[in-house]
Each structure stands twice: as structure tokens, then as C-alpha cells.
Amino acid sequence: MNLSKFVDELPIPPVIRPRRKDRYHTYYEATMTEFKQSLHRDLPATTVWGFEGIYPGPTFEVESGEKVFVKWINNLPEKHLLPIDHTIHGAHSDIPDVRTVIHLHGASVESESDGYPEAWFTKGFRQKGPYFSKEIYRYDNFMPACTLWYHDHTLGITRLNLYAGLAGFYLIRDQREGELNLPSGRFDIPLIIQDKSFHQDGSLFYPKQQEKPVAGLETSVVPEFFGDTILVNGKVWPYLEVEPRKYRFRLLNGSNSRFYRLRLKSGQLFYQIATDSGLTESPVGLHEIILAPAERSEVIIDFTNLQGKRIVMTNDAPSPFPDGEPVDPETVGQVMEFRVVQPLSSIDTTSIPSFMVPVPKRPVQTASKVRFLSLTRKKDQYGREVMLIDDKDWDAPISENPKLGQTEVWYLINLTNEVHPMHLHLVDFQVIDRRPFDVEKYKQKGILEYTGPAIPPIPQENGRKDTVIAYAHQVTRIIMKFGPYTGLYVWHCHILEHEDYVMMRPFMVIP
Ligand SMILES: [Cu+2]
């Protein structure tokens, strides 16, 4: 399908209003429904799923420390919008097709409110998964200012529920951030980048089968999904009219499998001010930003003195990343266009601060436990590739049980030929390094022998992270402190097709 670029204005999701708010708590309700929405000028309206009648859902804006309660309400139809593979664990045909559970990605929350994949519920909470424990989730928001996002996390169908539209932003603000004189208000804009494909009638396309159809199955999960159009905030290739001044953009990769390597065609720098979990110590000027699914990067772009210019944000990340098919520069090689055509409404007095917040490095010596965790693959009974953590299925006994308050170093030993963006719930971490190793020796003898020097994290990764790219045939080391809650959480690959089948494991923080 040939859709014109930069003909629709960038939508900015509205801020959700609480039902109740007093000095002790704030209460929201967010209802998921199915509806039609125009995703491009020349495309008939698309049936999508969203929150409060919009896709992506409305943005939550909360203060650090604010006690927030959210009732996520499922009012979706009984029939799923997209093809379900019932052979996948957690999606068998005796389980209702349409079920949801919402996870606040990047937030540190109590276990019962974390959106455990088997804590799903159907319309009106009529049916519930085995781990369902409450209707109203509690978010304590004690993290400093950061860009989080909420999305569906249901076992076996996350890729479909998220692709249908169940995602939105959740921003935490704090006093320190307010003192930094960053661009704010309408000059602070969240951008969720996603790829999708469409049928001629405007409906969403998601494959029913693998490229080489799996014999014996009508519907099969695919190893990964890449759409042929790029959407930002729910519009295909939008444009944004800006003033000649500085803007803050909160970039989020909300795609199923696609990575992005973003650049500004003008050759300008992005000034990155925050990683996944909040502000960094100091900004870093970047010509390109790599975003794996679920990763965030907050940047300042300075349009000062660029009146009349049109600046395209481009993408040249191959799919699969990093050595798959090169992108078509005419389609998925473009993301959106900034048009510097608005008159300056007031003098731009904002700044790019030289120091923001302390982010002390966690020394490796503070870790009291080291875990060696491999990323592996096997074939299933249909001959399909299955991506796994440590060769374990989802329902194997819990093997990672860090103690509350304990610092650990995890070696993510990638034995596969693919890259996996690994995400841990509950905690943020720091990337220590990456290092190539002898894969065959590890497979055969379990001996970790490095074949090259350790590679430090790239500048854009120097900060607090919750998702890290584990490259093929490398050991990626991360360090984190478990807490402040105990209980059951998950960690997984954020390529949603891998996560669903079945690259996800529980972990339990014990007192
Ligand atoms: Cu993966």
C-alpha cells in the first residue's frame, strides 16, 4: 500500500483526568474498548483497541510520590481483532480469547499491581486468570521523574493485544526536573513509534501464518513481525509544526519487533537527557539513537534559527536488527517530519542543563550474587523456532529468587543468532558491559571463554535502564538492586513475538 507521507498532523494523546483526587490519593478509571479511528488521511478508518476511546491511550501525568490507584476496565468485544494461535502456552482454546492485564512498564510497583501475565481478566471481570488478585491497581510512584508506558501483558497474546492498540504513556514528574528549566508544557511531547501494516479496507494486518506456513496449523505465531508503515502517536508518517525553539521529546519504541536507529536528516544532534528510567547526570549529544522495543530516550531538539525548515526524522535500523534487511528509505526509513513554521510565541528561555541528577555507578563489588542466564532456542513439535531463557518454559519452577535489598549482577549469555531486548520488571539496572564469547564451548562444556575485550555501554545507555539489548553471541552484564517490594514478577524479551513464545520467566523477590 502506498500511503503519502507527512499529510496528517501528529496527534498528542490527551492527559487522562482522575475520577477522584484528594491529598492522600488519586483514583483513575481507564476502559478498554474497540472502536474505529483514522490512522491516515487516505486510509478508511481502522478498527483498533484503545483506552478511553483513543489509541494510543491517554497520558497519565503524576507527581513522584503520589499515591495513584487505577481500575483498568475491560469492555472489549468477545471476539479478538487478530488471529490467535491456540497452540501457545497460555492461549489454549479453552481460555477466553479476549483477556487483558495491564503492566506499567518501568514502574516499581507491588507484585499484585504489576500486571502478572496470568492475572488477566475478561469483560466485567467475569473470568479471571489463576493469578488475578485485585481489580484496582496501586502505584506508589516513588521513582524520580521518568517516562513510563502502560500496555497489555497477557500470557500468550501480548503481541496481539499491543498491536491492536493497548498502550499509552505514563509520565512521572518531580521537583528536581521542574527546577532544570527544560522545555515544558506544549513543548514537551511524548512520541510512541510503532510499525503496522494494513489491508486495503483500512483494517490492521497481522500475519496468520509464518512465511513458510506451518503444516497442520491454521494460525501460527510468527518469529517476528515488521509492519510496512511507521506510526507516531497512532498516525502513519505524521508531521508536527514547531516553533523555532527547543522541544523535549519522549521517544518510545512501542513496536512488536522492529528496532529503530533514529537520525535527523538535517544532521542536527539529539541532546539526550533521560534513559528508560529517568534523567541522566548530564546530557549527551547524539547523531543517532537506537531504540529496541520498549526502550525510551528523552531528547531535546533545538529548532532555533531554523525557520521554514522541514526536518525528517529517519530510521536506518535493519530488520531484524542489527544485520537483517536494510530498510527501504522511501517507507520505513522515515518516521515523521518536523516543520519549523510556527511563529515564536515567546522567547525561549529554556536550557540544556550541564548537570541534571546524580546517577551513581553501582560498583560490581556491591553485588552479593552473580547469575549466569543464557538466551537459547529450541524447536517445537511443529518444527517452529522457540526462543527461551535458560532453556526453560514459562511454567518451569522459579529459578531466580533474589533477596529483598540484594544487589545482583546478571550475565545475559546470548547463545542465539538473534538480538533480544531483555526487560526486568520491578527494578532499574545499569549496563556494565558486553563481551563476545566462544558460543560452542559454552554450549558443549558450560565454560564461558571470552574471545574479545569487554565493550562499554554506548553513551546513550549511560543511565538507569529497564530494557537492554543483548546482542547475539555476546554476554551482556547488568547490575541491579532488588526491591523495595517482595513477590512475584517477570523478566522477558521485549520482542513481543519472542515474549509470547516463550521467552519470559517469573522471578520471585524473597524477604
Ligand atoms: Cu527475543
Distance from the alpha carbon of residue 100 to the mean position of ligand 1, in angstroms: 22
Mind listing the pLDDT tens digit for each residue in 310-339? Answer: 999 999 999 999 999 999 999 999 999 999
315 CA to middle of ligand 1, Å? 21
In order of 182, 426, 457, the CA distances from 369 in angstroms are 39, 18, 22
235, β-bridge pairs: 232
- Residue 34 amino acid letter: E
For the stretch 60-94, pLDDT in tens is: 999 999 999 999 999 999 999 999 999 999 999 99
Which helix (H) or strand (E) covers residue 177, if one does?
Answer: helix 175-179
How much is the pLDDT for 231?
98
Q: What residues have CB less than 8 Å from 265, skipping those under 6 apart?
A: 311, 312, 313, 314
Question: Residue 295 C-alpha to ligand 1 middle, in angstroms?
Answer: 14
Architecture of the CATH domain 20-174: Sandwich (2.60)
403 pLDDT above the threshold of 80: yes
Q: 163 φ, ψ to 5°?
A: -65, -35
What is the reported pLDDT for 358? Answer: 97
Q: Residue 458 Cα, ligand 1 centroid: separation in angstroms?
A: 20
Q: Report CA(420)–ligand 1 centroid distance (Å).
A: 4
Mean pLDDT, residues 277-295 taken together: 98
217 grid coordinates: 496449523
Rounded to whole angstroms, how far apart are CA atoms 84 and 61?
A: 34
pLDDT tens for 291-317 read 999 999 999 999 999 999 999 999 999
Task: Give distance in angstroms: CA of 278 to centre of ligand 1.
Answer: 24
pLDDT digits (tens, 9 = 90+) for 440-473: 999 999 999 999 999 999 999 999 999 999 999 9
Domains of the chain by residue range: 20-174, 185-340, 364-509
C-alpha grid cell, residue 385: 523456532
Q: Can you tell me the mean pLDDT for 410-429?
A: 98
Identify the helix (H) or strand (E) that includes residue 34: strand 26-37
Determine contact, residues 33/229, Cβ cutoff 8 Å: no
pLDDT at 2: 87
| Ligand 1 center from residue 150 Cα (angstroms) | 20
Mean pLDDT to the nearest integer, 348-358:
97
Q: Which of 204, 191, 202, 271 is nearest to 238 (CA)?
A: 191
pLDDT-derived band of residue 476, with 50, 70 and 90 as boundaries? very high
Q: How many CA atoms lie within 13 Å of 436's alpha carbon, on the beta-carbon side? A: 4
User: How many angstroms is it from 435 CA to the middle of ligand 1?
Assistant: 18
CA 70 to centroid of ligand 1, rounded, Å: 30
CB 157 within 8 A of CB 91: yes
364-509 folds as Immunoglobulin-like (2.60.40)
The 3-state DSSP composition of the chain as helix, strand, coil percent (nearest 5) reads: 10, 40, 50
CB crowding 297-323: b at 16 or more within 10 Å, else e: bbbbbbbeebeebebbbbbebebbbee
Question: What is the CA(416)–ligand 1 centre distance, in A?
Answer: 9
Instruction: Output the CA 358–ligand 1 centroid distance in Å.
Output: 32
- Ligand 1 mean position, distance from CA 42 (Å): 34
CA-CA distance, 148 to 298, in Å (whole number)?
11
If you measure from the C-alpha of residue 316 to the centroid of ligand 1, how many angstroms do you get, rounded to a whole number? 20
Q: Is the peptide bond before 117 cis (omega within 30 degrees of 0)?
A: no
Q: Each residue of 210-226: pLDDT tens digit?
A: 999 999 999 999 999 99
Ligand 1 geometric centre to CA of 13 (Å): 29
Given a cut of 90, whether residue 187 has pLDDT beyond it is: yes
Can you tell me which residue has the cell 529497564?
466
Please give the model's pTM, rounded to 2 decimal places.
Answer: 0.98
CA of 305 to the centre of ligand 1 (A): 43
Residue holding cell 511531547? 189
Output the nine-digit C-alpha cell for 400. 531466580
What is the Å distance from ligand 1's center to 493 Cα? 5
Beta bridge partners of 509: 487
In the numeric block, the cell 489491508 is attached to 199
Phi, psi of 249 (to 5 degrees): -120, 135
pLDDT at 182 (0 to 100):
98
**266-276 pLDDT, tens per residue?**
999 999 999 99
**What separation in Å is there between the alpha carbon of 363 and the centre of ligand 1?**
28
The stretch 420-430 carries a mean pLDDT of 98
Task: Give the Cα separation of 422 and 412 in Å (integer).
Answer: 9
- DSSP character at residue 500: H
- CA–centroid distance, 8 to ligand 1, in Å, is 33
Place of cell 499509552: 168
Q: Region 125-149: what's the mean pLDDT?
A: 98
**Residue 1 in this model has a pLDDT that exceeds 90:** no
- Alpha carbons 255 and 323: distance in angstroms, whole number: 18
Q: What is the DSSP letter of 440?
A: H
How far, in Å, is the centroid of ligand 1 from the Cα of 399? 19
> Three-state secondary structure along 298-347?
EEEEECCCCCCCEEEEEECCCECCCCCECCCCCCCCEEEEEEECCCCCCC
User: How much is the mean pLDDT over the chain?
Assistant: 97
23-38 mean pLDDT: 97
Q: What is the mean pLDDT of residues 411-419?
A: 98
8-state DSSP, 50: E
The Å distance, Cα 132 to ligand 1 centre, comes to: 26
By DSSP bridging, strand 239-242 and strand 229-232 are unpaired
d(CA 382, CA 219): 12
DSSP 461: G
Band of the pLDDT at 416, cuts 50, 70, 90?
very high
| Residue 159 parent element (H or E) | helix 158-164
- Cα–Cα distance for residue pair 214/386, rounded to 1 Å: 14
Tell me yes or no: is domain 185-340 CATH 2.60.40.420: yes
Residue 52 is predicted with a pLDDT of 98
How close is the Cα of 77 to the center of ligand 1, in Å? 30
Q: What is the DSSP string of 94-158?
A: TS-S--B-EEEET----GGGS--TT--B-GGG-SB-TT---SEEEE---S-SEEEEEEE--TTTH
Q: What is the chain's alpha carbon radius of gyration, rounded to the nearest angstrom?
A: 22
The amino acid at residue 385 is E
Q: Is residue 453 packed enough to be buried (19+ CB in 10 Å), middle (13-18) or exposed (0-12)?
A: exposed
| Helix (H) and strand (E) counts in the chain | 4, 31
Say if 20-174 and 364-509 have the same CATH topology: yes
Mean pLDDT calculated for residue range 467-481:
98
29 strand-pairing partners: 71
Strand order in the sheet with 385-389: 385-389, 369-379, 407-414, 474-481, 429-436
